[in-house]
Amino acid sequence: MDNDRYIWCRTCGAIHHATQFDRAPIYAFAGGEIQEIPANDGRAFMRQHAGHRLEPMRATGNDHCENGFAFDPMSVRYIEVSNGNDILLLRQSRSSIEEPLGYEIVNAQLIHTGVILEVQDRAIRKEMQLHFPWAPSAPLDDDKIDLFVELFQALVRKIDPDTVRVSDYSSTDDHISYGELDAAAFDALLLQCSARFSALELESIRRFVNTHREGCDVMALVKRRSMSVVRPAFDQHNR
């Protein structure tokens, strides 16, 4: 079962998130022993809202964590759902780690405000200084490593983020994915370096870039998306 299904009670506005955990049992202590109590959250929701107008909804893929950290169980998350006609924005939250996640419909829209590209400058420097086998050239000193990073940053500033193919996703930040450094950008970077590095250094740089540009490796581009929860002007005035 996938996790993008929701049920919207149009009568009272309640939301149920249908997941594989709907039938997870509840464990309670009684007489010094742990008792397993069968549960079915989905069935309980349907029973509670019997006779109401229920609408199946699916997540659209647009979501936003307030602090950006998807792994934080206490993070407030906004999720856009739709039945194909209506679009709702849900606010997912909990008041304590012991409580289940709750959902409420908010009068707002989730607006995508742009994507910027970034270079993993610290990770590149660390890999170049500590781990990369430079032979046959001598290891680059810190000044040359800084020069390489500056040339890479200058190149990336000219790349349209929408043209960069996603190669991996961050496991800690919903706002970040990683983009592939394609062949054209690879060649452009080496061309910039050719005027500033020796032939041996350039060959080692070529090998470094080529072996560290896949997935979320250090030469992959960071695609940082910006999302905003925008409320109607009247609603903002009266909050």
Q: What are the tokens at 190?
A: 């080496």
Indicate the range of 22-36, 39-53, 153-167, 168-182 predicted with least confidence. 22-36
Indicate the range of 10-19, 173-182, 227-236 predicted with least confidence. 227-236
pTM of full prediction above 0.75? no
43 shares a domain with 100: yes
Q: Is the pLDDT of residue 237 over 70?
A: no
Residue 34 lies in a domain: yes
Q: Which among 106, 129, 150 is the end of a domain?
A: 106
Q: Which among 54, 86, 106 is the end of a domain?
A: 106
Number of structural domains (the chain) is 2
Residue 234 lies in a domain: no
Domain boundaries, position 166: 114-226
pLDDT at res. 183: 94
Taking all residues of the chain, what is their mean pLDDT, rounded to a whole number? Answer: 87
126 shares a domain with 59: no
Q: Is the pLDDT of residue 233 over 60?
A: yes
Q: Is the pLDDT of residue 217 over 80?
A: yes
Q: Is the pLDDT of residue 25 over 60?
A: no
Beta bridge partners of 63: 79
Q: pLDDT-derived band of residue 73, with 50, 70 and 90 as boundaries?
A: confident
Residue 135's Cβ-side half-sphere holds a number of Cα atoms within 13 Å equal to 1
Residue 232 lies in a domain: no
Residue 73 lies in a domain: yes
150 shares a domain with 130: yes
Average pLDDT of the residues in 32-41: 66
131 shares a domain with 62: no
118 shares a domain with 76: no
Q: Which among 51, 74, 106 is the end of a domain?
A: 106
151 shares a domain with 101: no
Residue 14 lies in a domain: yes
User: What percentage of the chain carries pLDDT values higher than 70?
Assistant: 87
91 shares a domain with 130: no
94 shares a domain with 34: yes
118 shares a domain with 24: no
Q: pLDDT-derived band of residue 1, with 50, 70 and 90 as boundaries?
A: very low
pLDDT digits (tens, 9 = 90+) for 38-68: 556 778 888 889 999 999 999 998 888 876 5
Q: What is the 3-state secondary structure (H, E, C) of 119-133?
A: CCHHHHHHHHHHCCC
Higher pLDDT, 226 or 107: 107
pLDDT at res. 38: 59
